[in-house]
Structure 1
Amino acid sequence: MADQGSVRQRKKRGTTPAVGSDEDVFSKAITRNQKSTGPVAPKGYNLGHSIGLSVVTLLAFFTRFYKISHPNEVVFDEVHFGKFASFYLQRTYFFDVHPPFGKLLFALMGWFVGFDGDFKFDNIGDSYIDNRVPYVAFRTMPALLGSLTVPVVYMTMWESGYSLPAALLAAGLVLFDNAHVAQTRLILLDATLIFSMACSILAYVRFYKMRHAPFSRKWWKWLLLTGVALSCVISTKYVGVFTFVTIGTAVAIDLWGLLDVNTGLTLQEFGYHFGARIVGLIVVPFCFYLFWFQVHFAILYRSGTGDDFMTPAFQETLADNMMTLSSVNINYYDTITLRHKDTKAYLHSHVAKYPLRYDDGRISSQGQQVTGYPHNDTNNQWIILPAANLAEKKTGLGVKNGDVVRLHHVITDTILLSHDVASPYYPTNQEFTTVDQETALNRINDTLFEIKIEGARGGADFKTMAGQFKLIHFPSKVAMWTHTKPLPEWGFKQQEINGNKNVQQTSNLWFVEDITSLQDNDPRNDKTPKVVKTLPFLVKYFELQRAMFHHNNALTSSHPYASHPIQWPYLLRGVSFWTKNDTREQIYFLGNPVGWWLASSLLAVFAGIIGADQVTKRRGVDALDFRTRSKLYNSTGYFFIAWATHYIAFFVMGRQLFLHHYLPAHLASSLVTGALLDFVFNSEGQDETVPDHVKAAQSGKKPAVRTLTGVLPSSPSAPNSANSLSWIVAGVILAAVLGGFLFFAPLTYGSPGLSVEQILQRKWLGYDLHFAK
């Protein structure tokens, strides 16, 4: 409706009484506009919704907390997120690809109940009872959030102006969905993610409903609450960025509408709107996001399992870190052992040669093999030499970051060399071999390697353990690298060593484990107590971010229960969470087929309706009244965008994907389903009442005030009233959904155990259930 800019324009034209200040005029205009938005919802309308909200909330708590103590064993990914809570409580550093917010909630719950973190959730099936773990308290956190998600879905429909049957249907699809129940009653992160996503959608609906009172207290409140909810989404899992895209799309369309000259906003006033959204939806979420990482670093101050993922500089900020406590400066002519950071294989060589031809017909140099070997023996020992052949051996000279060195293999008296010959497994990577001393003199350049210590300044000391480095072949600029695929019998099943052209890969990192030639009287044995160092927060934050993104993208290995996005809407594959052979009980993660297939079908129906409406409009047939079309595009379209943004992006991901990744999109599809129920059964028919700004646009006149619209649930002038047919359809659908939920409930709750015949009855699409024989 009106805003300050448009009121001022009307005042100048004489259509607004020149009484009081501009602020008074604006306040009165806002009051009039708010009063003129439509009739107040009848008491029965609000009473019905209040009762409906209460019912779905009670049922949500019952379905999520029912048998929450069963099973009393570690289930599926509880091995990860329960373990992380234990690490938090023991203050030991760990590494995970997800941001810390959701895991901190579990740690908080463990702290509340006095859990000491001694139990490490190592294996699926480990007993909670035998180890005295307060697992019910841990599961209460996601169950609470999962329960609250259902009323949030209901309130989203209510606040968007939908009828009682539509709100019940949308909430019921989430309430009685087996996948939502199973995933939100175990020690997993998805309950936090989905609840935060639902709150983001609801908060933005409430914010948008305040668009006629911009910059008021409530307008700011709902804008900032939207930002806080978005922060919780992205601070739980990085797929929360899809919720940002949903809200961002709605904001962009809203701002595009505000930019229209017919709104009466000056460019300065538009800038205020734009800046407010930047602050509320970007700056505030990012600050909260950083805050959780600050809490993460503050709690985890002791050395732990995550040390290996971080640079030595980071590890020096952790108390009790063995790598930094035992580090020793390396001098030229020291005999050292080098180890690969990721695979822990030693740099190794032996007298055996590469074969003349490999299996694919390529020819090797037939040089001495250089391999990665998992065990420590004398063939792993190398002497680090300066680049120049010095007539006089100078001991005590320290190796520095950026030095160019040579490596002498002790046992075979050869020099490490790399050259332009393809490696055994990688035709694009260079072969590593060793040559005798005379050949090395003639090919001196091919034996030169630069030491580049990760995260260190030029000239920094090269140390054992703490100095993770890349060994760069000086002439060709490839990095020494290895991988886990074993060589054939001719290579004794050891790892291939080759030159990687992608120098930036973190898998190129090595470290010196030991100086085997260090004498007892060497002054380097006199270790002074190491002081725990500090790093600026942003340095630690960016290092952790790089590691998280790298390892998240590296999750590409196959998994027996992984699935593809195209399978999710049709519920073609589930995940086995837990089994117990004695009682034939199992938890199989699977959605409610009735609800999923209905919601997926109606997504296609919605797209068809939009397409048909566009075609008929092009042919001059206006089949929909203004209010119905506005709600179809703005409100239902908003929910459809939420579904698309939370689903389509998974098609371009290369990492492991599972059915639970579809749960946020399924929630959005439930909102679309409820909205379409109103569209089909509760449309008010042809309504010739067209808003003034539309009439003005049709006539070519410029209105004084234009109602601001966008892709978001619009506030209808009157709440929808449900006819009897919509009640019948909603009741039939919910009854069918409830039946599907109860039918698959034994697989959701892991109880009771089922007979072979009962299991076969539930293999609707060939689900790989246990105990089917």
Structure 2
Amino acid sequence: MSSPSQSAGSVRQRKKEKRVTTPVPDGASEAAVEIAAKAKQELHPSQGAEWDYRLAITIITVLAFVTRFWSIGHPDQVVFDEVHFGKFASYYLRRMYFFDVHPPFGKLLFAFAGWLVGYDGDFLFDNIGDSYITNNVPYVAYRAMPASLGALTVPTVFLIMWESGYSLPACVTAAGLMLFDNAHIGQTRLILLDATLIFSMALSVLCYVKFYKQRHEAFGRKWWKWLLLTGVALSCVISTKYVGVFTFFSIGVPVAIDLWSLLDINRRQGALSLQEFAKHFVARAIGLIAIPFILYLFWFQVHFTILTRSGPGDDFMTPEFQETLSDNLMTMSSVNIEYYDHLTLRHKETKTYLHSHPDVYPLRYDDGRISSQGQQVTGYPHNDTNNHWQILPGSPLTGSTGQKVKHGDIVKLRHLVTDTILLTHDVASPYYPTNQEFTTVSIEDAAGTRHNETLFEIRIDGAKPGQEFKTMSSHFKLVHFTSRVAMWTHTSPLPDWAYKQAEINGNKNVQQSSNTWYVEEIPSLSLDSDRLIREPRKPKRMPFLKKYLELQRAMFYHNNALTSSHPYASFPIAWPFLLRGVSFWTENSTRSQIYFLGNPISWWLSSALLAVFLGILGADQLALRRGMDALDDRTRSRIYNSTGFFFLTWAAHYFPFFLMGRQLFLHHYLPAHLASTLVTGALVEFIFNIEPLSSNEVSIVIPGKRKTASIRKPVRERLGGQNLLGAWIATSAILALVFAVFIFYAPLTYGKPGLDVAGVVARKWLNYDLHFAK
């Protein structure tokens, strides 16, 4: 697996090899002579074969652009997740801060496309089906960017096979499966991130293959070039989506194995000193870790530099971050809070107000537990006088009135309408037996035996000691002073006895981010109060790394929180078998629809050959255990190293999804599908590009005896264009069938023409949930 291009160029060899004379310095060791010879004796195709490859990749590239750009202006409406990524491009163009769970690189490309055509970002892609024409959106320019990358992915797959030394039929097979795949076409002709992700992933594999081919000329110009380009491509993958880490793994494993082999003192090419090995290690660390990380940070710096205005993403960030944005209403309208002010407190995530009313908790809950029968404290979504609380000092104040509340202060909250004091105690809440119930008690009880149970600490997020408590800009946790639980709410409504309002309870996990609240306003403040006089404020500055780390935490948290159900979500086990797709867009008047679905023949064939590959490895290992050597060294090296690298790439981009708890969709399999087409192309060559049986003898060691026996065995010859009739027949048959199925499903990929009921039903091969089937 450490050599994805093992024997690279062997299938493109000359019919008559030339003898290459390699200059070797006087006194050079035999190992040095061997290394120099190997470096200069890479086999290349003859001039005719070279042109065959060039002609094939030219035709495939042209077809790739045709299939991706054909009727790219249809539909002229917002389709599926274009509502997200088109919107983000508009926010970039308007420089308004937004929040997304994906890194910025892919979205910046869309904004760049809009900027190139002079678009100002007025349209915000609010709803699927909104008209681009009516709103004067240059949507074709937006779609052209991913369509171009999707088209370039096809010749990149061809080049990966070519540079790895595979025959022309193998290259055409792998690229052809990508060329006529409905899923890749459908996903890369819309304003979505996957085209950038998949192209960058394919480019990373190609650059690594070319880097590995320079292994005999370590630290040469080309060696450094392809090492650094591999790192750049990897940075584009991880800077588009975080699943790009799977590409790092698929390339990192062979790099680690390669380093391990370099450490071997018994290497055939000669042992490396520890200093030489350290140079190899540092070079790879710089090229494949440091460079990608620096570029990854660079795109976030661009992101922050562009988004300088307040926008819809403000609420996801801390007040300190929001103060760096111009026009931020939260920081512009913040007011210092003083003791005895009347407040409305609002939960940051759910936007519900802290609320109470005279009704009490029921004696028993549905599960039989007993409540305190105290006054209900709930979360209410609308502004109401029952949301008004007065902030009181936890102990008598010394000094003048008008004292400001600060971070770390101990306070009480008085509910104004019922004249009671907020309290939490060791009684289970209605929905969470492990969390504490919140209620209120009379002023007399709060001043007497229950004083300690009414004390709460103000903990402002990220605050410094003594920082002033303000409306809007101070996000805080209200932590009970004695039991150390934080006030918390959630989205599940309480039963009818609480008017289906939200539950408020005491969360023992104080650090949980969903414990955060803020003060929305001070109703008791008169309109002519000096505290409402605000001087113009300039945006504050915040160190880049601090902004970056804050955004990273928010992105990972919200990405993991995408666990809600979706009608078109699917499980990874279903993806290789293409059991269902995703409805992207429909139009009732023409019975047209875009349904995201791969080419069934292509996907089923690729999935089957992944299993065949494992069978080949298992059969070879079993034969070796019995003393039979059924494969020649070159074929075994190709299967275990090059095809094994492709298989590892597939596995690295597929199996991690089984560990995820978030929403998953069929498009998550597209990078793995690309890797499976590489395995398919390699196995087409392995299976069909062979010589008839010959009578070469092999030695078989008979256990327990010092003798050998002779048998006949098949010998696989790498023929570089000779006797490839079987491979070409297989390639032609596969691609003809794949093309026919591509045309059959094209109306669902391109969204036209509309199909009648019979046409829709005919395409429901595995009960695909297509529209207009009745």
Q: TM-score, normalised by structure 2?
A: 0.92
> Is 1:413 equivalent to 2:419 in the alignment?
yes
Q: Residues 132-161 of structure 1, C-alpha deviation per residue, up to 9 Å, x if partnerless?
A: 111000000000000000000000000001
Displacement of 1:476: 1.8
2:59 is aligned to 55
Please name the residue that 2:702 is paired with: none
Q: 1:664 is paired with a residue of what secondary structure?
A: helix
Once residues 253 and 471 of structure 2 are traced to their aligned partners in structure 1, the CA distance between those partners, rounded to angstroms, is 51
Question: 1:584 aligned to 2:591?
Answer: yes
C-alpha distance 369-175 of structure 1, shift in aligned 2 (>3 A) = same
Deviation at 1:485, TM superposition (A): 1.3
Task: Give the structure 1 partner of residue 727 of structure 2.
Answer: 726
Change in Cα spacing, 1:423 to 1:556, as seen in structure 2 (3 Å) is same
Residue 521 of structure 1 and its aligned partner are, at CA, apart by 5.2
In structure 2, stretches of 5+ residues that fail to align are 3-22, 697-716
Aligned to 2:40: 35
Task: Tell me if 1:127 matches 2:131.
Answer: yes
Aligned positions of 1:335-354 closer than 5 A: 335-354=342-361
Aligned match of 1:510:
517
Offset at 1:33?
3.2
Residues 1:387 and 2:394 aligned together = yes
Q: What does 1:486-497 align with in structure 2 at a 5 Å threshold?
A: 486-497=493-504
Aligned equivalents of 1:435 and 1:687: distance in 2? Answer: 96
Deviation at 1:443, TM superposition (A): 1.5
Deviation, 1:516, is 1.4
Equivalent position to 1:101, from 98, 101, 105? 105
Q: Taking every aligned residue pair, what percent have the same amino acid on both sides?
A: 68
**Alpha carbons of structure 1 residues 751 and 609: separation in structure 2 relative to 1, 3 Å:** same
Contact 2:36 2:216 in 1 (8 A): no
Partners of 1:91 and 1:300 within 8 A in 2: yes
Question: Which secondary structure state, in structure 1, belongs to the residue aligned with residue 469 of structure 2?
Answer: coil
**Distance in 1 separating the partners of 2:160 and 2:542:** 44
The offset of 1:362, in angstroms, is 1.1
Match of 2:235 among 226, 231, 234: 231
Shift of 1:525: 2.1
Q: Determine whether 1:766 maps to 2:772.
A: no
Alignment deviations for residues 379-436 of structure 1 (CA, whole Å, 9 cap, x no partner): 111111111145x795211111111211111111111111111111111111111111
What is the CA distance between 1:115 and its match in structure 2? 0.8
Q: TM-score, normalised by structure 1?
A: 0.92
Instruction: Report what 1:296 is aligned to.
Output: 303
Deviation string for 1:142-183 (max 9, x for gaps)?
000000000000000000011111111100111100000000
Structure-2 separation of matches of 1:106 and 1:18: 54
Give the distance between the partners of 1:354 and 1:462, measured in 2 at CA.
32
What amino acid does structure 2 have at the position aligned with 1:438?
Answer: E
Question: Which residue of 2 is the match for residue 451 of structure 1?
Answer: 458
In structure 2, the residue corresponding to 1:115 is in which secondary structure?
coil
* Contact 1:64–1:184 (Cα < 8 Å) also in 2: yes
Of 596, 611, 622, which residue of structure 1 is paired with 2:603? 596
Find the aligned partners of 2:44 and 2:438 in 1 and give their Cα distance: 80
RMSD: 2.0
Contact 1:161 1:720 in 2 (8 A): no
DSSP-derived class of the 2:122 partner: coil
Range with bigger deviation, 515-524 or 742-751: 515-524
* Residues 768 and 323 (structure 1), Cα distance of their counterparts in 2 relative to 1, 3 Å cut: same
Give the alignment of 1:321-340 within 5 angstroms: 321-340=328-347
Q: Matched residues in 1 for 2:675 and 2:248: separation?
A: 14
Change (3 A) 1:356 1:687: farther
2:164 pairs with one of 160, 164, 169: 160
Corresponding residue number in structure 2 for 1:221? 225
Q: Say which of 429, 437, 446 aligns to 1:423.
A: 429
**Equivalent residue, structure 2, for 1:12:** none
The residue that corresponds to 1:85 in the other structure is: 89
Which letter does structure 1 place at the counterpart of 2:745? F
Residue 700 of structure 1 aligns with which residue? none
1:472 Cα shift? 1.1
Q: The residue matched to 1:557 in structure 2 has which SS? A: coil
What SS class does the counterpart of residue 183 from structure 1 fall into? helix
Q: Does 1:673 align with 2:680?
A: yes
Task: Give per-residue Cα distances to partners, 1:517-547, cap 9 Å, x unaligned.
Answer: 2234543122111121000000000000000
1:401 aligns with 2:407: yes
What's the CA shift string for 1:101-129, capped at 9, x where partnerless? 00000000000101110011100000011
User: Matches of 1:40 and 1:485 in 2, distance apart?
Assistant: 67
2:759 maps to 1:755: no
TM-aligned CA distance change 1:614 to 1:720, over 3 Å: farther
Other-structure match for 1:149: 153
Point out the more displaced range, 324-333 or 499-508. Answer: 499-508
Answer yes or no: is the 8 Å Cα contact 2:24–2:33 preserved in 1.
Answer: no
- Secondary structure of 1:351's counterpart equals strand
Q: Letter of the 2:492 partner, please give it.
A: K
Indicate how the Cα distance of structure 1 residues 678 and 398 shifts in structure 2: closer, same or farther if over 3 A, else same: same
Aligned pair in 2 of structure 1 residues 686, 542: CA closer, same or farther (>3 Å)?
A: farther
Change (3 A) 1:593 1:717: closer
1:74 counterpart = 2:75 = no
The superposition leaves residues 544-591 of structure 1 with CA deviations (integer Å, 9 ceiling, x where unpaired) of: 000000000000000000000001000011000000000000000000
Q: Is the partner of 1:261 in helix, strand or coil?
A: coil
Q: Does the 8 Å contact 1:469/1:509 carry over to 2?
A: yes
- Work out the CA distance in 2 between the residues paired with 1:467 and 1:26: 70
Partner SS for 2:153: helix
2-structure distance, mates of 1:521, 1:271? 71
Q: Please tell me the residue identity of whatever aligns with 2:412.
A: R
Q: What does the per-residue CA deviation read over 1:261-282, in whole Å, with 9 as the maximum and x for residues that have no partner?
A: 1231111111100000000000
Q: Tell me whether 1:260 sits opposite 2:269 in the alignment.
A: no
Cα drift, residue 670 of structure 1: 0.3
1:664-743 alignment to 2 at 5 Å?
664-683=671-690, 719=720, 721=722, 723-743=724-744
**Alpha-carbon distance between aligned partners in 1 of 2:24 and 2:674, rounded to the nearest angstrom:** 49
Q: Is the 8 A contact 1:639 1:672 kept in 2?
A: yes
Residues 17 and 451 of structure 1, relative CA distance in 2, 3 Å threshold = same
How far is 1:615 from its partner? 1.4
Which of 177, 183, 196 is equivalent to 1:173? 177
CA distance in structure 1 between the aligned counterparts of 2:403 and 2:208, rounded to whole angstroms = 65
Distance apart, 1:685 and its partner CA: 8.3
* Unmatched tracts of structure 1, length 5 or more: 2-15, 690-715
Q: Distance in 2 between the 1:433 and 1:562 partners?
A: 41
How many angstroms does 1:456 deviate by? 1.6
Instruction: Supply the AA of the counterpart residue of 1:736.
Output: L
* Amino acid paired to 1:414: T
- Determine if the alignment matches structure 1 residue 358 to structure 2 residue 365: yes
Q: Which amino acid aligns with 1:156?
A: I
Count of aligned residue pairs for this structure pair: 729
* Equivalence for 1:703: none
Matches within 5 A, 1:597-616: 597-616=604-623
Aligned to 1:136: 140
State which of 530, 533, 541 in structure 1 corresponds to 2:537.
Answer: 530
Q: Distance in 2 between matches of 1:498 and 1:112?
A: 52
Distance 1:44 1:458, change over 3 A: same
For the 8 Å contact 2:24–2:36, the answer to whether it is kept is no
**Given residue 744 of structure 2, which amino acid in structure 1 is its aligned partner?**
F
CA–CA separation in structure 1 for the residues paired with 2:531 and 2:406: 16
* Contact 1:682–1:720 (CA under 8 A) maintained in structure 2: no
**Structure 1 segment 102-117 matched on structure 2, within 5 A:** 102-117=106-121
For 2:723 and 2:399, the matched residues in 1 are separated by 94
* Other-structure match for 1:317: 324
Q: What does the per-residue CA deviation read over 1:36-81, in whole Å, with 9 as the maximum and x for residues that have no partner?
A: 34x4321222111111111110110000000100000000000000
